[in-house]
Amino acid sequence: MSEQELKALRLRIDALDEKVLELISERARCAQEVARVKMASLAEGEVPVFYRPEREAQVLKRVMERNQGPLGNEEMARLFREIMSSCLALEQPLKVAYLGPEGTFTQAAAMKHFGHAVISKPMAAIDEVFREVAAGAVNFGVVPVENSTEGAVNHTLDSFLEHDMVICGEVELRIHHHLLVGENTKTDSISRIYSHAQSLAQCRKWLDAHYPNVERVAVSSNAEAAKRVKGEWNSAAIAGDMAAGLYGLTRLAEKIEDRPDNSTRFLMIGNQEVPPTGDDKTSIIVSMSNKPGALHELLVPFHDNGIDLTRIETRPSRSGKWTYVFFIDFVGHHRDPLVKGVLEKISQEAVALKVLGSYPKAVL
Ligand SMILES: C=C(O[C@@H]1C=C(C(=O)O)C=C[C@H]1O)C(=O)O
């Protein structure tokens, strides 16, 4: 390509950037106007709600539907995600607590869902994320809930039994694990591998094949594992991209998860009910009396009404030995007439039924 051609193209890009800049600024001014209208229409003593997850889901979907390429739908939506995040921060920056420390996949999930213009706060444990939201110190919390290889994150499910929380969103993240070492690590004499128990389990076969006799040490998070190896000579960590970058570690092996589609689903928890978007999911907790056919009775109304169950999980109820609660996710919003009918039917048979929340299906 000639210098001339290149110069002309760069001039075109400069001109387009000017337009993009002007349009983004116009959009941001519009969002400021939205904030003004929201404030003006408040009743006496009412707290304004700036963040509207149902609206954001619709904006992203529209972008993906209209996108003509050459950028892919996900890539385009990711750019718009960040624009919205910055626009919302002009209205009011969101405060978000997540399972830390910095560099966890939960932090990456928080950024994927809310964008980077939030004030984020790492917490040491899942339960602390719940408590931080309950105390009103942050607007939302982000916690992992299930992994496609390893199943439920029990701490999260159990925390829902102890706290009154509303689920306001979900996000799915592809999880790639790497074997990481620090600059002082003697790579031929690794005697210990640190990671979160979930991550060790997600890489079990790879570890059995490559490091069968090395001690596997479970720590509170894979970011914590990454932090530890920095100062140790004979240890490695299993963690993801964010932690590797944050602690300046070298990758001895990449993408060592046993299943290539290894993904984790995260939930956004808060106090805000989310209105229907037309493409929603609902999560409930149900406890049934311990009698024959109880689970069947619970499932029949879903089947009869053609409601798609996406997940069912059983946990000890904590209120009696050998009694259980069911965590159920299904497609639909609790305000949909069909879903309302199903929930009424179940509550007639159940010992207890709690709707944890209805929220837009993950867009990204
Ligand atoms: C602008 C609004 O407020 C926020 C910002 C949005 C945006 O930038 O598009 C969308 C929803 C809200 O989280 C709105 O409610 O429309």
Distance 282 CA to ligand 1 centre (A): 23
Q: Is the CB of 28 under 6 A from ligand 1?
A: no
Average pLDDT, the chain: 94
- What is the position in ligand 1's atom list of the atom closest to the CA of 84? 8
- The pLDDT confidence band at residue 1, using thresholds 50, 70 and 90, is low
Asked if the bond preceding 101 is cis, omega within 30° of 0, the reply is yes
Buried b (16+ CB within 10 A) or exposed e, 327-346: bbbbbbbbebeebeebbebb
Ligand 1 geometric centre to CA of 86 (Å)? 10
* Residue 288 reports pLDDT greater than 90: no
Q: What are the Cα distances from residue 152, in Å, to 149, 311, 314?
A: 10, 10, 10
Q: Round to whole Å and give the CA distance between 327 and 311.
A: 8
Buried-exposed string 255-270: b where 16+ CB fall within 10 A, e elsewhere: ebbbeeebebbbbbbb
Could you tell me the residue ranges of all domains in the chain? 50-91, 92-173+261-271, 176-258, 272-358
Phi, psi of 60 (to 5 degrees): -65, -40
Residues of the chain above pLDDT 90, percent: 87
Our answer on whether the CB atom of 90 is closer than 6 Å to any ligand 1 atom is no
Task: Quote the CATH superfamily of domain 272-358.
Answer: ACT domain (3.30.70.260)
CATH number, domain 176-258, options 3.90.1150.10, 3.30.420.340, 3.30.1740.10, 3.40.190.10: 3.40.190.10
pLDDT band at residue 47 using 50, 70 and 90 as cut-offs: confident
Q: Provide the ipTM.
A: 0.97
pLDDT over 70 percentage in the chain? 100
For residue 263, give the 3-state DSSP assignment.
strand
Show the DSSP H helices in 41-104 as ranges: 53-66, 73-91
Contact 94, 140 (CB under 8 A): yes
Query: Would you state the CATH architecture of domain 92-173+261-271?
Result: 3-Layer(aba) Sandwich (3.40)
- Does the Cβ of 51 fall within 6 Å of ligand 1? yes
Strand ranges for the chain from DSSP E: 95-99, 119-123, 140-147, 151-152, 166-174, 178-181, 192-195, 215-218, 235-239, 250-253, 263-270, 280-287, 309-316, 324-331, 352-360
CA 51, CA 35: separation in Å to the nearest integer?
Answer: 10
Q: What is the pLDDT of residue 35?
A: 94
Q: Which atom of ligand 1 is nearest to the CA of 87?
A: 8
Average pLDDT over residues 4-21: 97
pLDDT number for residue 231: 83
pLDDT in tens, 261-279: 999 999 999 999 999 999 9
Q: d(Cα 206, Cα 181) in Å, to the nearest integer?
A: 17
pLDDT band at residue 174 under the 50/70/90 scheme: very high
For the segment 96-120, the average pLDDT, to the nearest whole number, is 95
Q: Do domains 92-173+261-271 and 176-258 have the same CATH topology?
A: yes
Between CA 237 and CA 245, with CA 241 as vertex, the angle to 5 degrees is 85
Look at residue 320 and tell me whether its pLDDT is greater than 80. Answer: no
pLDDT band at 137 (very low <50, low <70, confident <90, very high): very high
What pTM, to 2 d.p., does this model score? 0.93
Torsion of CA 237, 150, 267, 356, to 10 degrees: -150
Residue whose CB lies within 8 A of the most ligand 1 atoms, among 61, 91, 277, for a mutation test: 91
> What does the alpha-carbon distance between residue 212 and residue 176 come to, in Å, rounded to a whole number?
21
pLDDT of residue 230: 86
Confidence of residue 187 (pLDDT cuts 50, 70, 90): confident
Cα of 28 to ligand 1 centre, how many Å? 10
SS3 182: coil
Q: What's the average model confidence in pLDDT over 31-35? A: 95
Say which amino acid occupies 243: A
Q: Is any ligand 1 atom within 6 A of the Cβ of residue 31?
A: yes
CA 261/CA 40 separation, integer angstroms: 47
- Residue holding tokens 């050998």? 322
Helix (H, G, I), strand (E, B) or coil at 163: coil
The phi-psi region of residue 255 (left if phi > 0; otherwise alpha if psi is between -120 and 50; otherwise beta) is: left
